Structure 1
Amino acid sequence: MKNNPAVRFLVIPLLLVLLGCSLVTAPQTAQETPVPATATPPPASLSADAIEALVDAAVNERLAQLERTPVAYTAPTVIETDLEATLTALYARANPAVVYIIVSSGGVANSSGSGFVYTHGGYIVTNSHVVSDGSTFEIVFYNGDRAMAKLIGADPDSDLAVLKVDSLPEGIEPLPVTQTDTLQVGQFVVAIGNPFGEQGSMTLGIVSGLGRSLQSQRSLMGSSTYSLPEVVQTDAPINPGNSGGPLLNLNGEVVGVNAAIASVTGTSSGVGFSIPAAAVRRVVPSLISDGRYVYPYMGVSFDGEITLAEQELYGLPQIQGAYVVAVTAGGPGDKAGIIAADPNTGRGGDLIIALDDQPINSFDDLNSFLSFHASPGQTIAVKVLRGNETVTLSLTLGARP
Structure 2
Amino acid sequence: MDVSRGRARPRGARVPVLVCAVLLAAGCTASETPVERPGASDRAALPLALDDLQGRYLKVIKEVLPSVVQIQASGDLGSGVVYDGQGHIVTNAHVVGSEKTFRVTTAHSEEPLTARLVYSYPEQDLAVIKLDRVPDGLRAAVFGNSETVQVGHIVLAMGSPLGLSSSVTEGIVSATGRTVSEGGGSAGGTGATIANMVQTSAAINPGNSGGALVDLDGQVIGIPTLAASDPGLGGGAAPGIGFAIPASMVRTVADQIVRNGKVVDSGRAALSVTVRTVVDDGYRPAGAAVVTVTGGGPAARAGLRAGDVITGVDRAPVTSATGLSEALAARRPGQRVPVTYQRDGAAKTVEVTLGEQ
The answer on whether the counterparts of 2:292 and 2:305 sit within 8 Å (CA) in structure 1 is no
Q: Is 2:92 the partner of 1:127?
A: yes
Identity %: 33
CA 1:254 to 1:394, structure 2 compared with 1: closer, same or farther past 3 Å?
same
Paired residue for 2:257, among 287, 292, 302?
287
| Cα distance in 2 between the residues matched to 1:223 and 1:125 | 16
- Could you tell me which residue of structure 2 aligns to residue 156 of structure 1? 122
Give secondary structure in 2 for the equivalent of 1:238: coil
- Could you tell me which residue of structure 2 aligns to residue 276 of structure 1? 246
- Write out aligned runs for 1:129-278 (5 A): 129-132=94-97, 134-145=99-110, 146-215=112-181, 226-263=192-229, 264=233, 269-278=239-248
Task: Return 216-225 or 235-244, whichever deviates more.
Answer: 216-225
CA 1:351 to 1:327, structure 2 compared with 1: closer, same or farther past 3 Å?
farther
Paired residue for 1:93, among 63, 70, 73?
63
Per-residue CA deviations over 1:226-281 (Å, capped at 9, x if unaligned) read 51112222110111211110111111221111111124485672111212223212
Per-residue CA deviations over 1:96-135 (Å, capped at 9, x if unaligned) read 111111223xxxxx12111110001110011111111545
| Cα distance in 2 between the residues matched to 1:217 and 1:10 | 59
| Cα distance in 2 between the residues matched to 1:250 and 1:158 | 26
The answer on whether the counterparts of 1:157 and 1:218 sit within 8 Å (CA) in structure 2 is no
The answer on whether the counterparts of 1:301 and 1:324 sit within 8 Å (CA) in structure 2 is no
* Structure (1/2) with the larger strand percentage: 2
The answer on whether the counterparts of 1:239 and 1:268 sit within 8 Å (CA) in structure 2 is no
The answer on whether the counterparts of 1:246 and 1:254 sit within 8 Å (CA) in structure 2 is yes
Per-residue deviation, 1:181:
1.6
Per-residue CA deviations over 1:351-400 (Å, capped at 9, x if unaligned) read 5359xxxxxxx974531323xxx4xxxx54345679999975555x25x3
The answer on whether the counterparts of 1:94 and 1:252 sit within 8 Å (CA) in structure 2 is yes
| Cα distance in 1 between the residues matched to 2:328 and 2:127 | 25
The answer on whether the counterparts of 1:324 and 1:339 sit within 8 Å (CA) in structure 2 is no
Give secondary structure in 1 for the equivalent of 2:221: strand
Per-residue CA deviations over 1:182-223 (Å, capped at 9, x if unaligned) read 322222111011112222111110111223333356677899
- Write out aligned runs for 1:2-401 (5 A): 79=48, 80-104=50-74, 110-132=75-97, 134-145=99-110, 146-215=112-181, 226-263=192-229, 264=233, 269-293=239-263, 295=266, 296=268, 297-300=270-273, 326=290, 328-329=292-293, 330-339=295-304, 343=308, 351-352=313-314, 364=326, 366-370=328-332, 374=333, 379-383=334-338, 394=353, 397=355, 400=357
The answer on whether the counterparts of 1:300 and 1:324 sit within 8 Å (CA) in structure 2 is no
For structure 1, which runs of at least 5 residues remain unmatched after alignment?
12-76, 105-109, 305-313, 315-322, 355-361
For structure 2, which runs of at least 5 residues remain unmatched after alignment?
10-45, 278-285, 317-323
| Cα distance in 2 between the residues matched to 1:301 and 1:222 | 22
The answer on whether the counterparts of 1:240 and 1:267 sit within 8 Å (CA) in structure 2 is no
CA 1:363 to 1:135, structure 2 compared with 1: closer, same or farther past 3 Å?
closer
| Cα distance in 2 between the residues matched to 1:268 and 1:390 | 39
Aligned residues: 292
Give secondary structure in 1 for the equivalent of 2:226: strand
CA 1:236 to 1:338, structure 2 compared with 1: closer, same or farther past 3 Å?
farther
Which residue identity lines up with residue 381 of structure 1 in the other structure?
R
CA 1:353 to 1:149, structure 2 compared with 1: closer, same or farther past 3 Å?
same
CA 1:384 to 1:131, structure 2 compared with 1: closer, same or farther past 3 Å?
closer
Compute the TM-score of the two structures, normalised by the length of structure 1: 0.60
Which residue identity lines up with residue 210 of structure 1 in the other structure?
T
Which residue identity lines up with residue 157 of structure 2 in the other structure?
A
The answer on whether the counterparts of 1:140 and 1:147 sit within 8 Å (CA) in structure 2 is yes
Give secondary structure in 2 for the equivalent of 1:176: coil
Which residue identity lines up with residue 298 of structure 1 in the other structure?
L
Give secondary structure in 2 for the equivalent of 1:172: coil
The answer on whether the counterparts of 2:298 and 2:352 sit within 8 Å (CA) in structure 1 is no
The answer on whether the counterparts of 1:103 and 1:111 sit within 8 Å (CA) in structure 2 is yes
| Cα distance in 1 between the residues matched to 2:313 and 2:98 | 40
Computed over aligned residues only, the root mean square deviation of the Cα atoms, in angstroms, reads 4.0
| Cα distance in 1 between the residues matched to 2:188 and 2:352 | 32
